[in-house]
Structure 1
Amino acid sequence: MMRCIIVDDEQLVRELLEDNVRQVPFLQLEHSCKSAMEAIGVLQAKQIDLIFLDIRMPGLNGLQFLQSLNNPPLVILITAHEEYALQGFELRVADYILKPFSFERFLKACNHANELFGLKNKSKAPIEKNMDFFVNVEYTLVKIIVDDIEYVESMKDYIKIHLSSANKPILTRMTLKAIEEKLPVERFIRTHKSFLVASSKITHIKRDFVCIGSSEIPVSDGYKDNVKRVLNDDGE
């Protein structure tokens, strides 16, 4: 859903645009403004994705208003004056509609803006990095699949990585802190100074242990809140 505002000093045009906006399912009208100064107040108070903007208005005109915005939302210019088209596109507006216009022309501009909106949001989405990593095992690099880890056990300068897919744990020279930094914090919990557990692999919980199948991992007093957090998350 794109949140939009209308900025036009002519009441009849505003009413036409309001009616058109209501017919487009992916638009949500937040405000209809009769001046650029009124629109500035709305932009300061609300998150707006699209502006339907007139150019010739008393006081601050549409282009001056657009140039004053540091990070403007998408803009569709709607005007009776075609001479501003080049300047409008230099300001990277989504579309430029000449009055009078049909609903079909209006909808075409909205569809284009919606495509740009989707691309803009996609480019902002965080890129999920590959969390899998390699460890050194007897002079060989062995790949560890994060989703395969059940729990990690510390043994001074070494750790044992217990995997769902293997009968024996992987033994590598590494500290528990070092492997903890490689793992997604929201998916692994400390239950003890020497144990790190994949919370999704826990099958049942005893008083002083969490269990993954038949394996019992100790829970010390200092880390019991971590286990309570897992219980609360599962209960939501």
Structure 2
Amino acid sequence: MVKCLIVDDEEPARELIRLHLSDFEGFEVVASLDNGLDAFTFLQKNVIDLVFLDIQMPKISGLELIGALKAGPQFIFTTAFREYAANAYELDVLDYLVKPITRERFMKAVFRYMHKNMQPPPDYQDAYHFFKVGREQVKIFLKDIIFIEGLADYIQVHTVHHAYIASEKLGYMEEKLPEQEFTRIHKSFIIALDKMTSYTAEQVKLGDRSLPLGRLFKGNFLKKVSSKTEKN
């Protein structure tokens, strides 16, 4: 059972999240709170897996709450303000939902949580994905991918053997690829971490190809690089 906490100073907003969440089996709303300070106290005493968190609230903001926690659950922001997105992703939140939150957008956020936490990782050496290339479905092993470039409604999959133009969107691939092996470094690029040869504050190098490192993606990129380094 996934234990959830809802934190929002508006009761209708809390009830809407509870309603959306009722569509999913295995998710339990343990508590629903109207301010960040009570949420901070609650999280010190209870084990929670997922928090739906507003940003602008009385006492302390959602951003301040996450900053005050040394460790804790995963967070999905639910806010009426788009301008905090950059701050949110620097805190490595799972998703950022802008009110009014539609059922479809909410489902996407929950599926993202499920994909990250509730599926057993495949054997990476044997893992593959079928890409629609022209009229064919082309099987590409994930271990062969160097990076993927977004081209509007298409992507270009660069592998160790060939580059393929496939009918897919980059955002979809970001959700489908194993996050421990791949990371998005720019609005237009996803890279395979094991193919990276060097990086700076502005770019990532994969062999003889240099790709830009976007500001919004830098925090998550550095976190993954650090995690990989510690494991090795």
> Which has the higher relative contact order, 1 or 2, with Cα contacts under 8 A spaced 6 or more apart?
2
TM-score of the two chains, using structure 2 as the length reference: 0.50
Q: Which has the larger radius of gyration?
A: 1
